[in-house]
Amino acid sequence: MKDKFQQKVPTRYLRLQATSSDDLNVLSALLQDSIVPIADILYTPSQKQVIMVLQRFRWELTKNAETIGKPIVYQRCLCGLLIDKVEYMQTQQIDINDRSQFLNFLSFYESGQNLDLQFSDSKTIRLSVNSLKLTIKDLGESWPTTQCPKHEEST
């Protein structure tokens, strides 16, 4: 008989696309607190794409556990992010050549033709986009983590 702590949590892979501001808000919430190694960020100007592999915190599992009263098992998984129709990419307070850095994703912010990816410590990737087309897809199995991201409440 399997111990209840060894039972495998059923895996549901996310695969979503954002083409509107409302969609972008959903993706932003799902990707919040993802860890992004700079080594896993690729901008291909010829294809007008930005591709990232994030270590996504699976917020949806904590919400479900709270709803049904089960113990919370924190998990992360690899998640691919593809942003299409990118004309150019700029960074603020990020050394894109320092491939050993990790970024903590906070949210997307859309303003006109710009899409900002906002990270902790006021780090930003600004993309000039013709229109919104972002796709996320979970890649492979989740792994457990003891750390749940916490945010200080603003006063």
pTM: 0.83
Residue 76 lies in a domain: yes
Residue 122 lies in a domain: yes
Residue 153 is which amino acid?
Answer: E
pLDDT tens for the chain, 155 residues long, are 344 444 444 557 889 999 999 999 999 999 999 999 999 999 999 999 999 999 999 888 776 555 556 666 789 999 999 999 999 999 999 998 999 999 999 999 998 899 999 999 999 999 999 999 999 999 989 998 888 887 665 54
Phi, psi of 29 (to 5 degrees): -65, -40
Interaxial angle between packed helices 59-68 and 21-31, expressed in degrees from 0 to 180 and rounded to the nearest 10: 80
As for how many domains the chain has, the answer is 1
Residue 147 lies in a domain: no
Residue 3 lies in a domain: no
Q: Which residues of 75-84 are buried (b: 16+ CB within 10 A; e: fewer)?
A: bbbbbbbebb
In angstroms, how far is CA 143 from the centroid of its own chain?
16
Residue 99: which domain range? 15-141
